[in-house]
């Protein structure tokens, strides 16, 4: 199990209190026992383990993603020290890459100078229009954060030094908003890259707008309206990852991500105290769910291979339930995101809580793109239309778990 990517919880607290946050507002309060920031001692132990793992597995590159909480709360000196240590320890045999995901409220000209100096890529969370963003992304006094985030994004877009570093924005979907308004808002700002995320939820605790047993598809309907606007405009000026991933997986196949395509995942989370954990969104499955007893002070990175929960995440679609294995769009959805499959009754042996939404979105995108391909080419490629209802009808009668 070669690990190429480490998601580092460099700060365990956040200056925002987003309503849908899986770290603070979905039942797991283990963050309270974490140190506020990752210590120099933890950094030293981590880099020592990573260096040894790279040599054992003969890796020539590794990625560090700074996360939290809000990673900028770790302070500028932390990033200078971490990047300098990592490069000194790993180079020239291993090329380290660095990125961070921030809520954007603390970004200043000084921070942008530092990100450029250290060559750290970054993404910013933005949930759309001012009203859409401020409905959920608020500070601890309940005030919205849109104005600060918008200012940071505009500064980043105006700085040519940051073109190769600014990875765009992440937008969490709210079916109560107008997807066309969100799309136009992103275009008006001048964004060139964005991704849309499904809010986190399990089979036992579905996300907003999804009721257990319902056949409604509010998230697919929202994304389909957005896709039709984007695809119909031939909008090559705005890259939307979820749509591009679906198109690539439908027509070219290949490996996917942890949320689409069911590809193998080579990432570990390192908590603020040095704990080695599986993907952090698994916190939504229950208090302490990600605590597997490993620590960079005591354990090698390779010890993670002995943890069932980590293996389950890393093997991707290999761990799907029988229903998912029989699904005609399995190669595209990959069963969906692992945390979204969880139930107390069946563990992860369920279709995703977003099963119907993913199937409806994928079949729609497939159909729209197929319609642009000449019929002789479609026949040569053996690509036939497949509607959402046709795909659903191909599932076995016994789904193995209640339908979402």
Per-residue pLDDT at 181 exceeds 90? yes
Structure confidence at residue 400 (pLDDT): 43
**Residue 96's beta-bridge partner residues?**
62
pLDDT digits (tens, 9 = 90+) for 343-382: 999 999 999 999 999 999 999 999 999 999 998 888 887 8
pLDDT digits (tens, 9 = 90+) for 20-74: 999 999 999 999 999 999 999 999 999 999 999 999 999 999 999 999 999 999 9
Whichever domain contains 145, its CATH number is: 3.20.20.70
Q: Are residues 85 and 122 in the same domain?
A: yes
Q: Are residues 375 and 305 in the same domain?
A: no
Instruction: Please report which residue ranges of 233-374 form alpha helices under DSSP H.
Output: 241-251, 308-314, 322-325, 330-333, 355-370
Structure confidence at residue 397 (pLDDT): 55
Report yes or no on 154 lying in a domain.
Answer: yes
Strand order in the sheet with 120-125: 239-240, 193-197, 166-172, 120-125, 95-102, 61-67, 5-9, 267-270, 275-277, 294-295
Report yes or no on 96 lying in a domain.
Answer: yes
Q: Are residues 36 and 147 in the same domain?
A: yes
Q: Are residues 46 and 132 in the same domain?
A: yes
Report yes or no on 334 lying in a domain.
Answer: yes
Q: Are residues 120 and 203 in the same domain?
A: no
Per-residue pLDDT at 83 exceeds 80? yes
pLDDT digits (tens, 9 = 90+) for 112-136: 999 999 999 999 999 999 999 999 9
Q: Are residues 102 and 36 in the same domain?
A: yes
Report yes or no on 84 lying in a domain.
Answer: yes
Computed over every residue of the chain, the mean pLDDT equals: 93
Single residue among 293, 314, 335 that ends a domain in this structure:
314
Q: Are residues 118 and 219 in the same domain?
A: no
Secondary structure in 3-state letters for 45-64: HHHHHHHHHHHHHCCCEEEE
Q: Are residues 33 and 50 in the same domain?
A: yes
Single residue among 297, 314, 331 that ends a domain in this structure:
314
What is the three-class DSSP state of 120?
A: strand
Give CA separation, 243 vs 116, 226, 359, in Å.
29, 10, 13
Task: Find the mean pLDDT for residues 242-259.
Answer: 88
How far is CA 248 from its chain centroid? 18
Distance, in Å, from the CA atom of 390 to the CA atom of 384, rounded to the nearest integer, reads 12
| Closest C-alpha to 288, from 298, 275, 297 | 275
How many structural domains are present in the chain?
A: 2
Report yes or no on 58 lying in a domain.
Answer: yes
Q: Are residues 55 and 142 in the same domain?
A: yes
Report yes or no on 234 lying in a domain.
Answer: yes
Contact 129, 179 (CB under 8 A): no
Q: Are residues 211 and 357 in the same domain?
A: yes
pLDDT digits (tens, 9 = 90+) for 195-247: 999 999 999 999 999 987 778 999 999 999 999 999 999 888 999 999 999 99
Q: Are residues 247 and 113 in the same domain?
A: no
pTM: 0.94
Instruction: Please report which residue ranges of 233-354 form alpha helices under DSSP H.
Output: 241-251, 308-314, 322-325, 330-333
Whole domain around residue 247: which residue ranges? 183-251+320-404
Burial class (CB in 10 A: 0-12, 13-18, 19+), 69: buried
- As a whole-number percent, the residues of the chain with pLDDT over 70 amount to 98
Per-residue pLDDT at 404 exceeds 90? no
Report yes or no on 258 lying in a domain.
Answer: no
Q: Are residues 91 and 148 in the same domain?
A: yes
Structure confidence at residue 322 (pLDDT): 87
Structure confidence at residue 254 (pLDDT): 73
**Residue 295's beta-bridge partner residues?**
275
CA dihedral 63, 64, 68, 71 (to 10 degrees): -120
Structure confidence at residue 215 (pLDDT): 85
Per-residue pLDDT at 328 exceeds 80? yes
Report yes or no on 178 lying in a domain.
Answer: no
pLDDT digits (tens, 9 = 90+) for 139-149: 999 999 999 99
Give CA separation, 244 vs 44, 248, 252, 254, 337, in Å.
39, 6, 11, 13, 17
Neighbours of 367 (CB within 10 A): 13
Residues whose CB is less than 8 angstroms from the CB of residue 112 and which lie 6 or more positions away in sequence, other chains included: 155, 156, 159, 161, 162
Distance, in Å, from the CA atom of 326 to the CA atom of 316, rounded to the nearest integer, reads 16
């Amino acid at each position: 199990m070669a690990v190429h990517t480490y998601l580092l919880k460099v700060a365990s607290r956040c200056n925002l209190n987003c309503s849908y946050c899986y770290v603070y507002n979905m039942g797991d309060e283990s963050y309270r026992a974490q140190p506020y920031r990752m210590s120099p001692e933890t950094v030293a132990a981590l880099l020592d383990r990573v260096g040894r793992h790279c040599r054992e597995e003969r890796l020539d590159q590794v990625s560090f993603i700074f996360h939290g909480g809000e990673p900028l709360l770790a302070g500028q000196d932390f990033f200078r020290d971490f990047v300098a240590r990592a490069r000194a320890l790993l180079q020239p045999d291993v090329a380290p890459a660095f990125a961070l995901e921030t809520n954007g409220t603390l970004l200043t000209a000084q921070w942008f100078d530092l990100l450029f100096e250290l060559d750290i890529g970054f993404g910013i969370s933005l949930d759309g229009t001012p009203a859409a963003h401020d409905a959920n992304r608020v500070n601890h006094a309940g005030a919205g954060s849109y104005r600060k985030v918008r200012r940071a994004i505009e500064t980043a877009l105006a700085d040519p030094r940051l073109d190769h570093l600014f990875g765009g924005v992440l937008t969490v979907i709210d079916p109560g908003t107008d997807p066309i308004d969100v799309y136009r808002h992103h275009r008006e700002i001048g964004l060139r890259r964005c991704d849309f995320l499904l809010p986190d939820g399990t089979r036992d605790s579905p996300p907003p707008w999804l009721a257990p047993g319902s056949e409604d598809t509010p998230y697919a309907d929202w994304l389909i309206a957005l896709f039709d606007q984007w695809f119909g405009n031939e909008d090559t000026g705005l890259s939307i990852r979820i749509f591009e991933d679906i198109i690539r997986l439908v027509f070219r196949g290949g490996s996917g991500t942890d949320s689409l395509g069911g590809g193998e995942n080579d990432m570990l989370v390192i908590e603020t105290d040095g704990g080695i954990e599986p993907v952090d969104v698994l916190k939504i499955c229950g208090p302490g769910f990600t605590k597997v007893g490993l620590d960079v002070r005591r354990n090698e990175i390779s010890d993670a291979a002995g943890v069932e929960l980590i293996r389950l995440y890393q093997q991707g679609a290999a761990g799907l339930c029988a229903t998912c294995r029989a699904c005609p769009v399995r190669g595209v959805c990959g069963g969906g995101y692992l945390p979204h499959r969880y139930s107390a009754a069946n563990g992860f042996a369920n279709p995703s809580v977003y099963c119907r939404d993913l199937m409806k979105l994928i079949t729609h995108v497939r159909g729209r793109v197929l319609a642009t391909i000449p019929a002789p080419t479609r026949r040569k490629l053996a690509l036939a239309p497949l509607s959402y209802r046709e795909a659903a009808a191909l599932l076995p009668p016994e789904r193995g778990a209640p339908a979402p």
